[in-house]
Amino acid sequence: DAGVIQSPRHEVTEMGQEVTLRCKPISGHNSLFWYRQTMMRGLELLIYFNNNVPIDDSGMPEDRFSAKMPNASFSTLKIQPSEPRDSAVYFCASSLEGSEQFFGPGTRLTVL
């Protein structure tokens, strides 16, 4: 299995631009998680889906952030408009019924 796939691996954009991060979970997994990692705040859960349905989005920082999971094999995290304070590494993870979460390699986002 290829593991959790995230794209792009690096993204540099200017303040105000829309950013879309993509994630392909491991085939057969039914839970998907988006995390943000920064030096100041550590690893934070933004949102998680179970069977493609958002279960808890209480970690989404603002309305500028939105996430979708249109099917079992794809999810997006969108930031519109982006701000410099959104600069972080964003991880996607997937699991099967609450078992071990498998993390993707992350997307390093820099907003200038």
User: Given the rule CB under 8 A, which residues bind other proteins?
Assistant: 4, 31, 33, 42-43, 45, 48, 50, 55-56, 91, 93, 95, 98, 100-106
Closest distance to other proteins from the beta carbon of 56 (Å): 6
Closest distance to other proteins from the beta carbon of 2 (Å): 13
Interatomic CA distance for residues 22 and 109, integer angstroms: 12
Q: By C-beta, is 13 or 45 nearer to other proteins?
A: 45
- CA angle 83-84-87, nearest 5°? 105
Closest distance to other proteins from the beta carbon of 89 (Å): 9
Q: By C-beta, is 10 or 85 nearer to other proteins?
A: 10
Strands 107-111 and 102-103: unpaired
Closest distance to other proteins from the beta carbon of 68 (Å): 19
Provide CB contacts within 8 A for 105, sequence distance 6+.
4, 6, 9
The answer to whether residues 31 and 50 touch, using CB atoms and an 8 Å cutoff, is yes
Q: How far is CA 67 from the centre of its chain?
A: 8
Q: By C-beta, is 5 or 81 nearer to other proteins?
A: 5
